[in-house]
Structures are given as C-alpha cells and as structure tokens.
Amino acid sequence: MPQDFSKRISDLLADLETQGRRVQALLELAFDAFFTRDTVKAARVNSDDDAIDAADVAIEKASVALLNDATNTGASLGETDLRRVLTIVKVNNELERIADVAVDLADLVKPGTSDAARAFPATFRMMANSVIGILRDTTTAFARSDAPLAKVVLQSQHCVTAFKDAIVRDGEQQIAKGQMTVDFAFLLLEVASQCELVADHCTNVAEQIIYSSTGAIVRHTPTQWIEISRQNG
C-alpha cells in the first residue's frame, strides 16, 4: 500500500481515538449535570456536542475520500487495511450516537420539579460510573487494537443490564410503599435505559475492534457472546 494511504489511515485512527475521549468527556459532563441538576453544565453538554458532530462529519468524509482515492489510483489497500477503514466508519457512527445519549441525558435536567431535591439511589450512580468505565475501556481497546479488552467490554454489558433490573425492581417496591413518586420512577427508568443504550453502542464498537483485529465476527446470544472465525463463515 502506498505510504500516503498508510499515513491517512493512521491519521484517521488517531482522530477517532480523540473523538472517543471527547465523547467520554461529554458523557461524564452529562451525568454530572444530571446528578447535580446543574442547568449550566447541561447547557455545556449541548454546546460541546457541536464539536463532536463536526468531527463525526470530518472523519466520515475523510474515510470516503480515502477509499475513493484508492479506487481511482488502483491502490491495493489489502484486506486488513480495508477492514480498518470500514471499522473507522462504523465506530465513528457509534460514538456520535453515544454523544446523542449524553445530550438526551442533559435535556432531562429540570430542577424545578417536585422531585428536584430527592437523592438518587446509590445503585444509580454506580451504574453511571460503570457505563463511563465501559466507554473508557472501549476507546482504549480501539486505540490499541486490543481484542482481549474488547471482549471484556462485551461482558460488561451484562453488568449494566443487571444494574437496570435492580433499579426497576427497587422502584416498583418503593412506589408500592408510597416512598417514590411515579414520575421519579419513570425518570430513573429513562436514565437507566440510556445507560443501557450506551453499553449497547460500546459493544457494537467492541465487535468492530475484534473484527478489525482478528477478522472474527462476534454474535450475541441470550446467554453469551459467540466468536465466529472467518473459516467458519
């Protein structure tokens, strides 16, 4: 492969790693704004998302331009490099969707409600911290092409689902006892669902990391993740 294309792919990988860290910072800010009910921080989430949107478009355009130039010049990228470029495009899209979740979380900051002073369950904060950790590991796995760490990310999704189930059960019990309003319970469910959505996007990225690094395709069954080698179709 011509040196120019190799450098362009390396630059795209570096840009995408930066985008991953940028999205992580946005998600952390969104959770901070939500837990503290800080409307100023919530507004920052919306404004900071503009830079993520711009980077998303730039990375996609650069990826398309690279493939177009390679085709026009008859350059042979090779199977590994083609997988890398396709992975960049897919991961870029997943990161942008995680940023959208951060914006949605920030939009839930409404301090004027009757439950504005109510404390959030400790399990709820643990779930948020877990999701941030999963995103951090996802970005690290991508930057290092670390398939084993990507597999850890896949398994982490089950932890987030368990947190959500615990929050739902606790909410149902507290509503039955008159200790929690229905509106507050719905708020908790909404954020728990958004956390689960972030974990889903991270597992999508992890699948792409494994594919790019090893060529294996990963599929999720009700009980486990299954890795399908290229030889097995």
Contacts of 227 (CB under 8 A, 6+ apart): 210, 216, 217, 218
3-state SS class at 226: strand
Domain extent at residue 22: 3-232
Tens digit of each residue's pLDDT, the chain (233 residues): 456 888 999 999 999 999 999 999 999 999 999 998 899 999 999 999 999 999 999 999 999 999 999 888 877 777 778 888 888 999 999 999 999 999 999 999 987 665 666 778 888 888 999 999 999 999 999 989 899 999 999 988 888 888 888 888 888 898 999 988 888 888 888 999 999 999 999 999 999 888 888 878 777 655 566 666 655 44
Residue 81 backbone phi and psi in degrees, to 5: -70, -35
Structurally, the chain folds into a number of domains equal to 1
What CATH number does residue 106 fall under? 1.20.58.220
Q: What length does the chain have?
A: 233
The answer to whether residues 204 and 94 touch, using CB atoms and an 8 Å cutoff, is: yes
Q: Which one, of 99, 127, 123, lies nearest residue 21 by Cα?
A: 99
